[in-house]
Amino acid sequence: MLKQIDKGLVRETIAKRAEQEIVSGYYVNLGIGMPTIVANFIQQDKEVVLQSENGLLGIGVSPLKEEVDPELINAGKETVTASSGASFFNSAESFAMIRGGHLDLAILGGMEVSENGDLANWMIPGKMIKGMGGAMDIVHGARKIVVVMEHVNREGASKIVKQCQLPLTGKRVVSRIITERAVIDVEKDGLVLMEVAKGWTVEEVIESTNVTLRISDELKVATY
């Protein structure tokens, strides 16, 4: 992947890499924003069921213009399609699925992730928000949490930090971080650089990350 400033391309690139985290047979929740794009890249040979906390089990790809149904939306109020065999239910049943540990994987967006796996992704103090959403339940209910986000913020500061400054969604919940520059695992002894995106060097990733990274013995170039 080349270094580029096209935000749409960056988001698509990250989503393509995140798709590789999904295993056939998984029940998966895709968070609001960037994670929803992942649905468009799931390989056809994977049998995957996507869950939305607003009451849909079996989300399909993003609809074409002629397929848009304004009453069929995900938790981010984006229009979606329903795959064959999809089911609809109320939020109480949806959160029973989440809290009951029935999700194999959740792919969520992030504003900050700390070196010990804390996640902040639901609000910025002083900005108007509609509510905390379902992320606080998801990070404790899903068996694995993968965070997708741009490596740095608009000011160029690392979004991977020693300690989160924004209000937390959950403590020690993140297993893996995927950005347009790298794939980083959260382990008990800190962060481990697992993959570096094409077009970036290890040195550049380290320089743009605000915490110490341990280099994996199996470090490889990420296939985005």
Catalytic residues: 53
DSSP state of 62: P
Question: Roughly how many angstroms between the first and final C-alpha of the chain, as a whole number?
Answer: 7
Residue 22: beta bridge partners?
none
Phi, psi angle pair for 148, to nearest 5°: -115, 130
Residue by residue, DSSP assigns 141-206 as HSS-EEEE--SB-TTS-BSEESS--SPPSBSS---EEE-SSEEEEEETTEEEEEEEETT--HHHHH
Measured distance CA(3)–CA(75) in Å, rounded: 31
User: What's the longest Cα–Cα distance across the chain?
Assistant: 51
Measured distance CA(212)–CA(1) in Å, rounded: 24
DSSP state of 65: G
Handedness of CA 193, 180, 156, 145 (dihedral sign): negative
